């Protein structure tokens, strides 16, 4: 008896016995701690702007690290939502995927983000696109919610270049400008907006969304580009690299790291199991949503010195 396979219908992969994900749990806990630490200093800076006491000596007051919980909760929720968007969609389609691996790191956010490992192939281009776009959509929704909730605590400040605190500004993605306008928080001339730490976490979420949605290689945006334009994926990737070169020279040198990363990934995307199976109209809509999110979140210069 012959059997057939319909790649449009999700199915469950064979169950495997798995060990308890100790590494995932340890990395998650470590990232909670690192973001709590960063959040403590961010909250101290925010309180100082408001003329309030700013205690950051956690060596003498270890429990003061708990002051950073608003930022830690916000950024961990955004990152977790992004990765769970990928994970749950993968599981829905029966694609074997790992739980998220968080990366603690001593930088301005306390983390280098998170990722999941895909242990199995994508069944078709439709499932590839849905897995790719689910993460950015989920993370974006939570980031917007965090920004809206925090906007009432944002402050207008006069930015005076030449000081350590005020010498670095954050880029303004389009979504930030839209929320500022809708909530009556557009800065007056000569002033800028100083975000609450939860708002800064939202800003980080927008940056993560934009970086992941670049339509190149095997980034989330690369998945979308391959799903919709498999024959032109490598050309689209090359165009993205070409566009990033002047941005790295004139706006943000870190774009150079992304150029190197994309070349390491070889600007290539492996085919799905049933590459021949056509995408559905809903996938085109989802692809347009992904493009819209990229436009809303992209910043030529995320950090302005």
Give 287's contacts (C-beta < 8 A, 6+ positions apart). 129, 133, 224, 227, 228
**51 has a pLDDT exceeding 70:** no
17 assigned to some structural domain = no
How many domains are contained in the chain?
Answer: 1
Give CA separation, 16 vs 101, 127, 273, in Å. Answer: 19, 21, 21
Give 175's contacts (C-beta < 8 A, 6+ positions apart). 144, 147, 206, 296, 297
- Is residue 262 within 8 A of residue 240, CB to CB? The reply is yes
Give 233's contacts (C-beta < 8 A, 6+ positions apart). 222, 225, 226, 269
5 assigned to some structural domain = no
9 assigned to some structural domain = no
Q: Answer whether 0.85 is exceeded by the pTM.
A: yes
What ranges in the chain are assigned the alpha helix state H? 22-49, 69-92, 125-151, 174-182, 197-212, 220-228, 233-250, 255-264, 281-297
206 assigned to some structural domain = yes
2 assigned to some structural domain = no
Nearest Cα residue to 137 out of 217, 81, 180, 182: 81
**16 has a pLDDT exceeding 90:** no
The per-residue pLDDT for 44 is 84
**56 has a pLDDT exceeding 80:** no
**53 has a pLDDT exceeding 90:** no
10 assigned to some structural domain = no
Domain range for residue 92?
A: 22-304
- For the ranges 10-14, 66-70, 293-297, which has the lowest average pLDDT? 10-14
55 assigned to some structural domain = yes
3 assigned to some structural domain = no
- Is residue 114 within 8 A of residue 24, CB to CB? The reply is no
């Amino acid at each position: 008896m012959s059997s057939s396979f319909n790649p449009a219908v999700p199915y469950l992969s064979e169950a495997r016995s798995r060990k308890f994900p100790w590494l995932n749990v340890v990395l998650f806990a470590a990232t909670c701690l690192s973001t709590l630490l960063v959040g403590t200093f961010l909250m101290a800076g925010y309180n100082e702007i408001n003329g309030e006491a700013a205690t950051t000596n956690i060596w003498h007051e270890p429990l003061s690290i708990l002051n950073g919980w608003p930022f830690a909760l916000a950024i961990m929720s955004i990152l977790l939502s992004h990765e769970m968007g990928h994970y749950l969609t993968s599981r829905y389609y029966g694609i074997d995927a790992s739980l998220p691996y968080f990366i603690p790191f001593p930088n301005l956010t306390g983390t280098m983000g998170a990722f999941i490992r895909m242990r199995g192939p994508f069944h078709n281009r439709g499932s590839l696109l849905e897995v790719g776009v689910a993460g950015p959509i989920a993370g974006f929704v939570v980031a917007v919610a965090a920004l809206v909730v925090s906007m009432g605590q944002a402050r207008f400040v006069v930015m005076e270049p030449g000081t350590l605190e005020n010498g670095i500004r954050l880029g303004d993605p389009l979504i930030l400008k839209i929320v500022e306008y809708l909530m009556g928080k557009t800065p007056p001339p000569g002033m800028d907006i100083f975000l609450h730490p939860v708002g800064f976490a939202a800003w980080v979420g927008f940056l993560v969304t934009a970086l992941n949605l670049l339509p190149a290689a095997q980034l989330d945006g690369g998945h979308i580009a391959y799903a919709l334009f498999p024959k032109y994926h490598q050309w689209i990737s090359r165009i993205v690299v070409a566009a990033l070169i002047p941005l790295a020279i004139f706006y943000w040198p870190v774009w150079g790291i992304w150029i190197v990363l994309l070349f390491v990934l070889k600007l290539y995307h492996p085919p799905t199991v049933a590459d021949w199976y056509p995408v559905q109209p809903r996938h085109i809509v989802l692809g347009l949503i992904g493009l819209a999110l990229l436009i809303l979140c992209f910043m030529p210069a995320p950090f302005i010195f």
